[in-house]
A and B are shown apart, each in its own frame.
Chain A
Amino acid sequence: MWDKIKDFASEFFVTGDPLILGAQVSIGLTLIAIIFTLTYFKKWRWLWTEWLTSVDHKKIGIMYIIASILMLFRGGVDALLMRVQLAAPELEFLHADHYNAIFTTHGVIMILFMAMPLMFGLFNIVVPLQIGARDVAFPFLNSLSFWMFFFGAMLFNVSFIIGGSPDAGWLAYPPLSGLLGSPGVGQDFYIWGIQISGIGSLATGINFVVTILKMRAPGMKLMQMPMFTWSVLSSCVTIMFAFPILTVTLFLLFLDRYLGAHFFTLDGGGNPMMYINLIWMWGHPEVYIVILPAFGIFSEIVSTFSKKRLFGYKSMVFALMSISFFSFFTWAHHFFTMGSGANVNAFFAVTTMLIAIPTGVKVFNWLFTMYRGKLSFPTPMLWTIAFIPCFVVGGMTGVMLSVAPADFQFHNSYFLIAHFHQVLIGGVVFGYFAGLYYWWPKMFGFRLHEGLGKWAFWLWNIGFYVCFMPQYALGLMGMTRRFNEYNFDMGWQPLNVVSTVGAFLMGLAFIFQVWQIAHSIKFLKKETSGDAWDGRTLEWSIPSPAPLYNFARLPQVTSQDDWWEKKQRRARGEAELPEVAAADQAPLEPIHMPRNSGIPFIMSFSWFVAGFGFVWDWKWMIVVGLAGVIISMLARSFSYDTDYYIPVDEVKRTEAAARGAH
Chain B
Amino acid sequence: MAHAYQSHAGAHGHSAHGSHDGHHGHDHHDQEEMKTFGFWLFLITDVILFGTLFATFMVLRLNTAGGPTGAELIELPGIIASTFILLTSSFTSGVALLEMNRGNKKGLILWLIITALLGASFIYLEVTEFIHLVHEGATIGTSAYWSAFFTLVGTHGLHVTVGLVWMTALILQLRRRGITPVTKRKVNIISLYWHFLDVVWIFVFTIVYLMGVM
Report A's interface with B, CB cutoff 8 A.
133-135, 137-138, 202, 205-207, 209-210, 213-218, 220, 240-241, 243-245, 247-249, 251-252, 255-256, 259-263, 267-271, 274, 278, 554, 589-592, 630, 634, 637-638, 640, 645
Kindly state the separation between the CA atoms of A278 and B7 in the bound complex, as whole angstroms: 43
Given A216-B2, A216-B3, A592-B27, do A263 and B147 touch, yes or no (CB 8 Å)?
yes
Minimal beta-carbon separation of B109 from chain A (angstroms):
16
Minimal beta-carbon separation of B147 from chain A (angstroms):
4
Closest partner residue, chain A, to B39 (CB atom): A206
**Is there an interface contact between B141 and A589, defined as CB atoms closer than 8 Å?**
no
**Is there an interface contact between B2 and A218, defined as CB atoms closer than 8 Å?**
yes
Closest partner residue, chain A, to B30 (CB atom): A214
Minimal beta-carbon separation of A260 from chain B (angstroms):
4
Q: Which chain B residues in 103-155 approach chain A with CB under 8 Å?
A: 140-145, 147-148, 150-151
**Is there an interface contact between A268 and B41, defined as CB atoms closer than 8 Å?**
no
Judged by a CB distance under 8 angstroms, whether B1 is at the interface is yes
Please list the 3 inter-chain residue pairs (A to B) with the smallest Cβ-Cβ separation, ordered nearest first.
A269-B63, A269-B144, A260-B141
Judged by a CB distance under 8 angstroms, whether B76 is at the interface is no
**Is there an interface contact between B2 and A244, defined as CB atoms closer than 8 Å?**
no
Closest partner residue, chain A, to B27 (CB atom): A592
Kindly state the separation between the CA atoms of A131 and B5 in the bound complex, as whole angstroms: 14
Minimal beta-carbon separation of A208 from chain B (angstroms):
10
Kindly state the separation between the CA atoms of A336 and B73 in the bound complex, as whole angstroms: 40
Q: Which chain B residues in 159-214 approach chain A with CB under 8 Å?
A: 165-166, 169-170, 172-173, 177, 182
Given A206-B41, A263-B56, do A591 and B177 touch, yes or no (CB 8 Å)?
no
Minimal beta-carbon separation of B40 from chain A (angstroms):
9
**Is there an interface contact between A138 and B35, defined as CB atoms closer than 8 Å?**
yes
Judged by a CB distance under 8 angstroms, whether B14 is at the interface is yes
**Is there an interface contact between A243 and B45, defined as CB atoms closer than 8 Å?**
yes
Cross-chain pairs A/B with CB under 8 angstroms, 13 sampled: A135-B6, A216-B3, A218-B2, A218-B3, A243-B45, A247-B49, A268-B147, A269-B65, A554-B7, A589-B11, A592-B5, A592-B27, A637-B170
Could you tell me the dominant secondary structure of chain B's interface residues?
helix
Q: Which chain B residues in 3-55 approach chain A with CB under 8 Å?
A: 3-7, 9-11, 14, 24, 27, 34-35, 37-38, 41-42, 44-46, 48-49, 52-53
Most chain-A CB neighbours within 10 Å: which of B2, B37, B64, B177?
B2
Select which of A134, A220, A259 is within 8 A of B2 by beta carbon: A220
Minimal beta-carbon separation of A263 from chain B (angstroms):
5
Judged by a CB distance under 8 angstroms, whether B81 is at the interface is no
Minimal beta-carbon separation of B200 from chain A (angstroms):
13
Judged by a CB distance under 8 angstroms, whether B59 is at the interface is yes
**Is there an interface contact between A214 and B2, defined as CB atoms closer than 8 Å?**
yes
Contact partners of B141 in chain A: CB under 8 A: 259-262, 268
Minimal beta-carbon separation of A635 from chain B (angstroms):
10
Select which of B4, B48, B52 is within 8 A of A215 by beta carbon: B4
Given A214-B37, A255-B140, do A248 and B9 touch, yes or no (CB 8 Å)?
no
Kindly state the separation between the CA atoms of A137 and B141 in the bound complex, as whole angstroms: 43
Contact partners of B27 in chain A: CB under 8 A: 592
Minimal beta-carbon separation of A206 from chain B (angstroms):
5
**Is there an interface contact between B151 and A261, defined as CB atoms closer than 8 Å?**
yes
Contact partners of A135 in chain B: CB under 8 A: 6
Minimal beta-carbon separation of A575 from chain B (angstroms):
25
Minimal beta-carbon separation of A175 from chain B (angstroms):
13
**Is there an interface contact between A640 and B169, defined as CB atoms closer than 8 Å?**
no
**Is there an interface contact between B9 and A589, defined as CB atoms closer than 8 Å?**
yes
Kindly state the separation between the CA atoms of A147 and B48 in the bound complex, as whole angstroms: 24
Kindly state the separation between the CA atoms of A589 and B5 in the bound complex, as whole angstroms: 13
**Is there an interface contact between A244 and B46, defined as CB atoms closer than 8 Å?**
yes
Given A216-B2, A268-B144, A592-B5, do A255 and B44 touch, yes or no (CB 8 Å)?
no
**Is there an interface contact between A591 and B9, defined as CB atoms closer than 8 Å?**
yes
Select which of B4, B42, B56, B172 is within 8 A of A252 by beta carbon: B56
Kindly state the separation between the CA atoms of A645 and B45 in the bound complex, as whole angstroms: 33
Closest partner residue, chain B, to A209 (CB atom): B41
Given A261-B141, A592-B24, do A240 and B45 touch, yes or no (CB 8 Å)?
yes
Beyond contacts A209-B41, A213-B37: 10 other A-B pairs, Cβ-Cβ < 8 A, are: A133-B6, A134-B6, A206-B42, A215-B2, A218-B3, A244-B46, A245-B48, A261-B147, A271-B60, A271-B63
Kindly state the separation between the CA atoms of A241 and B24 in the bound complex, as whole angstroms: 36
Kindly state the separation between the CA atoms of A249 and B34 in the bound complex, as whole angstroms: 30
**Is there an interface contact between A137 and B34, defined as CB atoms closer than 8 Å?**
yes
Contact partners of B7 in chain A: CB under 8 A: 218, 554
Minimal beta-carbon separation of B130 from chain A (angstroms):
13
Most chain-A CB neighbours within 10 Å: which of B35, B37, B41, B145?
B41
Kindly state the separation between the CA atoms of A268 and B37 in the bound complex, as whole angstroms: 43
Contact partners of A274 in chain B: CB under 8 A: 56, 59-60
Contact partners of A206 in chain B: CB under 8 A: 38, 41-42, 45
**Is there an interface contact between A630 and B140, defined as CB atoms closer than 8 Å?**
no
Contact partners of A217 in chain B: CB under 8 A: 2-3
Kindly state the separation between the CA atoms of A588 and B182 in the bound complex, as whole angstroms: 27
**Is there an interface contact between B182 and A244, defined as CB atoms closer than 8 Å?**
no
Kindly state the separation between the CA atoms of A249 and B55 in the bound complex, as whole angstroms: 12
Contact partners of B45 in chain A: CB under 8 A: 202, 205-206, 240-241, 243-244
**Is there an interface contact between A241 and B65, defined as CB atoms closer than 8 Å?**
no
**Is there an interface contact between A207 and B3, defined as CB atoms closer than 8 Å?**
no
Closest partner residue, chain B, to A637 (CB atom): B169
**Is there an interface contact between A589 and B10, defined as CB atoms closer than 8 Å?**
yes
Contact partners of A243 in chain B: CB under 8 A: 45
Select which of B41, B56, B145 is within 8 A of A240 by beta carbon: B41
Contact partners of A207 in chain B: CB under 8 A: 38
Q: Which chain B residues in 74-92 approach chain A with CB under 8 Å?
A: none
Kindly state the separation between the CA atoms of A557 and B166 in the bound complex, as whole angstroms: 41
Minimal beta-carbon separation of A273 from chain B (angstroms):
9
**Is there an interface contact between B44 and A240, defined as CB atoms closer than 8 Å?**
yes
**Is there an interface contact between A262 and B65, defined as CB atoms closer than 8 Å?**
yes
Kindly state the separation between the CA atoms of A511 and B48 in the bound complex, as whole angstroms: 43
Select which of B65, B170, B177 is within 8 A of A640 by beta carbon: B177
Given A217-B3, A269-B143, do A248 and B56 touch, yes or no (CB 8 Å)?
yes
**Is there an interface contact between A638 and B56, defined as CB atoms closer than 8 Å?**
no
Minimal beta-carbon separation of B13 from chain A (angstroms):
11
Closest partner residue, chain A, to B63 (CB atom): A269
Kindly state the separation between the CA atoms of A286 and B9 in the bound complex, as whole angstroms: 38
Contact partners of A247 in chain B: CB under 8 A: 49
Minimal beta-carbon separation of A276 from chain B (angstroms):
12
Given A207-B38, A214-B37, A274-B59, do A244 and B4 touch, yes or no (CB 8 Å)?
no
Closest partner residue, chain A, to B183 (CB atom): A640
Contact partners of A589 in chain B: CB under 8 A: 9-11, 14
Contact partners of B145 in chain A: CB under 8 A: 269
Kindly state the separation between the CA atoms of A645 and B4 in the bound complex, as whole angstroms: 15
Contact partners of A259 in chain B: CB under 8 A: 140-141
Contact partners of A278 in chain B: CB under 8 A: 52, 56
Closest partner residue, chain A, to B38 (CB atom): A210
Contact partners of B64 in chain A: CB under 8 A: 269
Minimal beta-carbon separation of B82 from chain A (angstroms):
23
Kindly state the separation between the CA atoms of A206 and B35 in the bound complex, as whole angstroms: 11
Select which of A210, A216, A218, A645 is within 8 A of B34 by beta carbon: A210
Contact partners of A262 in chain B: CB under 8 A: 63, 65, 141-144, 147
**Is there an interface contact between B144 and A255, defined as CB atoms closer than 8 Å?**
no
Contact partners of A216 in chain B: CB under 8 A: 2-3
Contact partners of B14 in chain A: CB under 8 A: 589
Minimal beta-carbon separation of A468 from chain B (angstroms):
35
Given A271-B59, A589-B10, A592-B24, do A244 and B52 touch, yes or no (CB 8 Å)?
yes
Contact partners of B42 in chain A: CB under 8 A: 206
Kindly state the separation between the CA atoms of A122 and B159 in the bound complex, as whole angstroms: 34
Kindly state the separation between the CA atoms of A259 and B147 in the bound complex, as whole angstroms: 10
Contact partners of B49 in chain A: CB under 8 A: 244-245, 247-248
